[in-house]
C-alpha cells in the first residue's frame, strides 16, 4: 500500500512541476565567448568593467556566483587561486 501511494505521489509531482525558465549568458561577449552559462531568468547579471573582471550573477534570494576568465598560464592559474583564497 505504501509503495502504491509513493508511486502515485511521484507521478502527480511530475505533472505539477512547472517548467524551468532560463537564460543563457555568453562571457565576455556572444561573438567571442570563453564560456556559456545557463541561469534562472530572474537572476541579475552584473558584468565586470573589462575582460578579466568578475561577472556577478545574483539570485533574488541573495546568492551570488562570481565568474571570470584568466590567461591560461601556470603562473596566472596560481595567482588566481591565491587571489580566490584571500
> Over the stretch 33-77, which tens digit does the pLDDT of each residue have?
888 889 999 999 998 888 778 889 999 999 999 988 877 788 888
Q: How confident is the model at residue 30 (pLDDT cuts 50, 70, 90)?
A: confident
pLDDT at 39 (0 to 100): 92
Q: How confident is the model at residue 19 (pLDDT cuts 50, 70, 90)?
A: low
Lowest mean pLDDT among 4-8, 28-32, 47-51: 4-8
Cell 565567448, located at residue: 33
CB 40 within 8 A of CB 25: no
Burial annotation 13-35 (CB, 10 A radius, 16+ → b, else e):
eeeeeeeeeeeebebbeeeeeee
Please state, in angstroms and rounded to a whole number, the distance separating the CA atoms of residues 44 and 37.
13
Amino acid at each position: 500500500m505504501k509503495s502504491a501511494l509513493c508511486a502515485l505521489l511521484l507521478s502527480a509531482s511530475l505533472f505539477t512541476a512547472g517548467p524551468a525558465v532560463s537564460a543563457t549568458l555568453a562571457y565576455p561577449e556572444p561573438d567571442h565567448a570563453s564560456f556559456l552559462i545557463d541561469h534562472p531568468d530572474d537572476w541579475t547579471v552584473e558584468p565586470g568593467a573589462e575582460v578579466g573582471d568578475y561577472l556577478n550573477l545574483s539570485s533574488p534570494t541573495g546568492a551570488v556566483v562570481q565568474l571570470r576568465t584568466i590567461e591560461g598560464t601556470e603562473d596566472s592559474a596560481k595567482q588566481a587561486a591565491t587571489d580566490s583564497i584571500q
